[in-house]
C-alpha cells in the first residue's frame, strides 16, 4: 500500500479522500490555491502545499505544479477527485511518466471510454444497450440523413468528445438535422478541439439511471447497483438516490451486469459510472461513462456498505477487489441532496462569503460530507457546492421523511443555500411517486415562477 498520497482537489472531496487515506494508514498531502488558504479540510491533511492563485487554471489545473508538489512531498500516488483534472488522460499520462500512480483508470482506458463513439462501439460489442443511430462519427451528411429516417425523428446530434450536456443538438426533422450537424460540429471543434459528431434516437421524458462500477488491475470488475439522478437543473444534479425507485429487479440486474461487463472488457481499473437513460417501459440506453469517482458516490456506499474511495485507492495500489459480485446486495434506501451556496430565488446565483451560522443535523442514518463550518468563508472561484447531506433508511418513504427532518435541522446562514428548495422538491408529487423524469425540476421551477408573478 502507498505511504503517501497527494490529493489534487479541494473542498468536500479532498476531505473525503483524506479520511479514506487515514483509515488505510496513508499520509495525505493536499495542494491548495491561495483562495483556499485556511480551508478547513487542509487542517486534516498531513501536509498542505500552495500551488498558485485562486483561478483554477493557475492552480488546480496546472499539471506541472501538481507534479512538483508530489515530487517535493515524496508522494507515491495522486488522487484527482472529481472535476478539475480527473478525466484528463494527458494528466494521467504525465503522472505515470513522472513515476506517480494515478488513482483512477489508465490513460488508455480513459481515452477508450471518453470517446463516446468508441465507447458506444465497445458497448454494442459487450451487449450493453445503446440508442440506435450512426455507428461512426458522421463523415457524410447524406448518410446521417438516411440513418435518421430509419430510426425516425426526433434525433440528437452529439459530440464524440463531449459529455455532461455540452455540444448537443436535438433535430425534429431533416432540415433541423442538417443545421444541427453543422452547429454541433463547430461547437465541438471549438470546445474540445474535435469536431466529430454522431446521431442517435432522442428520448423524451427519460429518467437518468447510472450504474456504479469498480474494477481492479487483475481483470475483475463488479457493479454496485445504480443511482437515479433525474432531479437536475441545467445538467447540475440536485438530488440523487439509490436504488432507482420502481425498477424491476430482473431488469436492474441485467443492465447493471452489462455495465460491469463493459468496464471489464475495457480493462478498466478504479471507479467508473456507466450512465443510462431509462424510458417508461424500463428500457435502458447507455449515454456515456464517467471515468472518476462521482459527487453522488455516497448513496451507493450507504446501500452496499462498500467504501468506494478506499477501494479505489486499494486497486490503484495493485490489490485485488476485496469482494465479488455475489457479495454485493442492496440494503435499504439512500438519498443525497447537494447543499449549494446558491440563491434559488435569484436564478441560483452563487453566494460567496462568510458562513456565520452552521448547525448540522444528526441522528440515525444521517451522513454529512462537507468541508463547511461556522467561520468558513466561501471563495468565489469554485463550484458552489459546500456539502452533501446523505440519509439512509430501510425504505424510500422513511428515507424521504428522515431527510426532510435533517434538512429542517440544518441551519446555514446568512449565505443562501439550496436547503429550502430541497424541502419543497422532496414533497413534489412526481418525486414522491418515484415517477419523476429529467425535466420535472425545471418544469416545476417555471411553474412556481409563473405563480409568483400572477
The residues annotated as belonging to the active site are 292
Place of cell 412556481: 448
Alpha helices, DSSP H, located in 107-140:
107-114, 116-126
Interface with ligand MV4 (CB under 6 A), residue total: 17
Please confirm whether the linkage preceding 414 is cis (ω < 30° from 0).
yes
Based on CB atoms, which residue is closest to ligand MV4, 222 or 438?
A: 438
Check the CA dihedral 293-294-298-304 and report its sign: negative
* Span near ligand MV4 by CB under 6 A; candidates 2-10, 202-210, 298-306, 372-380: 202-210
Residue 156 binds ligand MV4, judged by CB under 6 A: yes
Which C-beta is closer to ligand MV4: that of 196 or that of 365?
196
3-state secondary structure of 414: coil
Handedness of CA 286, 287, 293, 299 (dihedral sign): negative
140, 126 Cβ separation under 8 angstroms: no
Q: Interface with ligand MV4 includes 202 (CB under 6 A)?
A: yes
Binding map of ligand MV4 across residues 219-258, x = CB under 6 A, - = no contact: -------------x--x-----------------------
Q: Would you count residue 131 as binding ligand MV4 (CB under 6 A)?
A: yes
Give the nearest distance from C-beta 394 to ligand MV4 in angstroms. Answer: 28
**CA–CA dist 331, 400 (Å, integer):** 16
Residue 210 beta carbon to ligand MV4: minimum distance, rounded to whole angstroms: 9
CA distance 102 to 435: 40
* Maximum Cα–Cα distance across the chain: 63
Give how far Cα 332 sits from Cα of 211, 243, 299, 305, Å. 17, 8, 11, 11
Binding residue for ligand MV4 (CB under 6 A) from 104, 438, 441, 444? 438
Asked if 208 is part of the footprint of ligand MV4 (rule: CB under 6 A), the reply reads yes
Report the nearest approach of ligand MV4 to the CB of residue 147 (Å): 13
Binding of ligand MV4 at residue 200 (CB under 6 A)?
A: yes
Verify binding: residue 287, ligand MV4, rule CB under 6 A.
yes
In 293-395, alpha helices (H):
297-304, 308-316
Q: Does 176 bind ligand MV4 (CB under 6 A)?
A: no
CB 368, min distance to ligand MV4, A: 25
Chain residues in the site for ligand MV4 (CB under 6 A): 131, 156, 164-165, 200-203, 206, 208, 232, 235, 275, 277, 287-288, 438
Amino acid at each position: 500500500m502507498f505511504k503517501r498520497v497527494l490529493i489534487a482537489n479541494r473542498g468536500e472531496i479532498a476531505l473525503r479522500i483524506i479520511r479514506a487515506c487515514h483509515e488505510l494508514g496513508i499520509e495525505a498531502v493536499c495542494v491548495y490555491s491561495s483562495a483556499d488558504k485556511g480551508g478547513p479540510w487542509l487542517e486534516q491533511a498531513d501536509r498542505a502545499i500552495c500551488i498558485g492563485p485562486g483561478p483554477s487554471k493557475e492552480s488546480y489545473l496546472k499539471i506541472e505544479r501538481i507534479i512538483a508538489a508530489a515530487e517535493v512531498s515524496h508522494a507515491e500516488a495522486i488522487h484527482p477527485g472529481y472535476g478539475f483534472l480527473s478525466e484528463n488522460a494527458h494528466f494521467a499520462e504525465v503522472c505515470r511518466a513522472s513515476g506517480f500512480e494515478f488513482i483512477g483508470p489508465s490513460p488508455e482506458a480513459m481515452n477508450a471510454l471518453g470517446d463516446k463513439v468508441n465507447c458506444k462501439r465497445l458497448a454494442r460489442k459487450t451487449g450493453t444497450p445503446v440508442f440506435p443511430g450512426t455507428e461512426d462519427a458522421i463523415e457524410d451528411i447524406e448518410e446521417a440523413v438516411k440513418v435518421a429516417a430509419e430510426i425516425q425523428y426526433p434525433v440528437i446530434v452529439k459530440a464524440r468528445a463531449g459529455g455532461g450536456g455540452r455540444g448537443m443538438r436535438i433535430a425534429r426533422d431533416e432540415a433541423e438535422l442538417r443545421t444541427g450537424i453543422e452547429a454541433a460540429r463547430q461547437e465541438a471543434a471549438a470546445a474540445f478541439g474535435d469536431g466529430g459528431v454522431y446521431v442517435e434516437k432522442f428520448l423524451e421524458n427519460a429518467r437518468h439511471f447510472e450504474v456504479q462500477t469498480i474494477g481492479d488491475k487483475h481483470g475483475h470488475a463488479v457493479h454496485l447497483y445504480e443511482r437515479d439522478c433525474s432531479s437536475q437543473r441545467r445538467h447540475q444534479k440536485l438530488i440523487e438516490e439509490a436504488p432507482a425507485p420502481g425498477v424491476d429487479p430482473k431488469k436492474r440486474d441485467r443492465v447493471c451486469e452489462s455495465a460491469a461487463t463493459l468496464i471489464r472488457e475495457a480493462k478498466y481499473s478504479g471507479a467508473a459510472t456507466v450512465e443510462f437513460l431509462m424510458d417508461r417501459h424500463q428500457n435502458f440506453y447507455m449515454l456515456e461513462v464517467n471515468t472518476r469517482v462521482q459527487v453522488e458516490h455516497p448513496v451507493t456506499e450507504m446501500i452496499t456498505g462498500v467504501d468506494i474511495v478506499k477501494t479505489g485507492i486499494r486497486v490503484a495500489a495493485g490489490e485485488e477487489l476485496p469482494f465479488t459480485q455475489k457479495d454485493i446486495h442492496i440494503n435499504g434506501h439512500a438519498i443525497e441532496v447537494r447543499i449549494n451556496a446558491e440563491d434559488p430565488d435569484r436564478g441560483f446565483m452563487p453566494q460567496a462569503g462568510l458562513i456565520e451560522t452552521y448547525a448540522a443535523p444528526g441522528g440515525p442514518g444521517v451522513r454529512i460530507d462537507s468541508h463547511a463550518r461556522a467561520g468558513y468563508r466561501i471563495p468565489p472561484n469554485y463550484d458552489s457546492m459546500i456539502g452533501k447531506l446523505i440519509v439512509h433508511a430501510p425504505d424510500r418513504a422513511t428515507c424521504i421523511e428522515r431527510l426532510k427532518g435533517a434538512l429542517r435541522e440544518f441551519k446555514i446562514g446568512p449565505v443562501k443555500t439550496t436547503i429550502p428548495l430541497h424541502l419543497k422538491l422532496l414533497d413534489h408529487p412526481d418525486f414522491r411517486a418515484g415517477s419523476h423524469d429529467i425535466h420535472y425540476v425545471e418544469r416545476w421551477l417555471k411553474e412556481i415562477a409563473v405563480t409568483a408573478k400572477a
